[in-house]
């Protein structure tokens, strides 16, 4: 017992020294996130390192055609960069959008109050004074709007504040937002919480997440082709190399199948302007319960959905309102040949 206690105390002292040098490791959540990122990088290096270590023909091909390996290395590097960019990006939190609106309202009020007070300029320039009625219209107009009123306007008439208020954050959630228990924040257009990335996927980083999946799938497919090419030309030379290579090919095939399904699934969500949470928990979301499953309430057409997903500025928060009953009936109407010719689906 004494030996065990002394070893535990020595380990605790070493851990405390390590935490003093690297304060980011003191937080268990950040420590697990860094561990996952390190494991993913090592997994990539393992597959690429074993391939170049075993395959001498690939090394000879690299000397003859360096562009081939350069393209593979560029895809390898771009995929890892996209992973770190996506994992460190914000999914778009409700509290940040509310804080941004409050800051804009404060700036608008300050500008209105400054412009309301007449002052004589020393250089003789004319100063325009805003009267009380114009000042009131500015305060209650589109330039200044409280967050609660803005959120309620996005829901159907008659929605109470209690129904759209998060019980954890105590903030009003706009449509498509959800509280993430892992991040302990409400996320705009919440899709899911990705364990491998260590962050939520939402409005702010869904596009980056899709591009990461696309790059990871391409890298996995290319690596698998290189491994199969190596097995065809070098099988039964060294049994232990063949065993390691076959084991890596099997695991790589599982990863590739998962990535392909994930890429197709998220491509379908993008084309229909849905999220994973809305698709899986549709019957449990209050404002989606009465809508048929084949109707996508937030879809604006395939082309508009793609443009909004790929080309919308990520620095701005986009809050989507619930469609009216007339718009919902129009969306539920089946397509005809005339609708296809007139690009109604776009």
Show which residues are catalytic.
194
Integer Cα distance of 106 and 18 in angstroms: 44
Q: Which two tokens stand for residue 86?
A: 């996506």
Could you give phi then psi for residue 299, rounded to 5 degrees?
Answer: -75, 135
Integer Cα distance of 131 and 116 in angstroms: 7
- In the chain, count H helices and then E strands: 13, 4
Q: Which two tokens stand for residue 145?
A: 């709007």
Q: What DSSP string describes 258-299?
A: HHHHHHHHHHHHHHHT--HHHHHSGGGSGGGTTS-TT--TT-
Integer Cα distance of 285 and 125 in angstroms: 58
Find all residues with CB under 8 Å of 283, minimum gap 6, and list them: 289
Cβ–Cβ under 8 Å, residues 226 and 55: yes
- Give CA 249 to chain center in angstroms: 30
Place of tokens 């990705």: 194
Cβ–Cβ under 8 Å, residues 195 and 183: no
Could you give phi then psi for residue 165, rounded to 5 degrees?
Answer: -100, 130
Q: Taking Cα atoms as reference points, which of 268, 267, 264 lies closest to residue 256?
A: 264
User: Three-class SS of residue 90?
Assistant: coil
């Amino acid at each position: 017992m004494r030996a065990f206690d002394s070893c535990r105390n020595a380990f605790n002292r070493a851990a405390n020294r390590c935490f003093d040098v690297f304060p980011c490791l003191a937080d268990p959540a950040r420590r697990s996130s860094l561990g996952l990122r390190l494991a993913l990088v090592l997994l990539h290096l393992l597959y690429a390192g074993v391939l170049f270590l075993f395959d001498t023909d690939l090394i000879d091909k690299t000397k003859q055609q360096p562009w081939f390996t350069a393209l593979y290395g560029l895809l390898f590097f771009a995929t890892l960069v996209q992973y770190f960019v996506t994992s460190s990006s914000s999914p778009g939190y409700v509290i940040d959008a509310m804080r941004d609106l409050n800051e804009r309202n404060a700036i608008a009020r300050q500008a209105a109050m400054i412009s309301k007070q007449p002052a004589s300029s020393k250089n003789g320039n004319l100063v325009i004074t805003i009267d009380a009625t114009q000042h009131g219209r500015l305060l209650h107009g589109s330039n200044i709007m409280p967050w609660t009123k803005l959120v309620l306007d996005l829901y159907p008439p008659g929605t109470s504040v209690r129904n759209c208020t998060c019980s954890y954050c105590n903030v009003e959630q706009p449509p498509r937002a959800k509280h993430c228990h892992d991040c302990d924040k409400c996320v705009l257009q919440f899709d899911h919480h990705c364990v491998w990335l260590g962050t939520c996927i939402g409005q702010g980083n869904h596009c980056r997440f899709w591009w990461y999946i696309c790059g990871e799938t391409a890298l996995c497919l290319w690596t698998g082709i290189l491994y199969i090419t190596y097995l065809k030309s070098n099988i039964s030379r060294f049994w232990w190399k063949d065993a390691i290579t076959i084991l890596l090919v099997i695991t790589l095939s599982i990863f590739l199948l998962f990535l392909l399904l994930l890429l197709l699934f998220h491509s379908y969500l993008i084309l229909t302007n849905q999220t994973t949470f809305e698709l899986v928990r549709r019957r449990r979301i209050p404002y989606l319960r009465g809508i048929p499953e084949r109707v996508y309430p937030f879809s604006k057409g395939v082309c508009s959905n793609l443009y909004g997903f790929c080309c919308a500025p990520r620095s701005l928060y986009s809050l989507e309102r619930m469609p009216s009953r007339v718009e919902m009936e129009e969306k539920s109407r089946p397509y005809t040949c005339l609708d296809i010719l007139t690009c109604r689906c776009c």
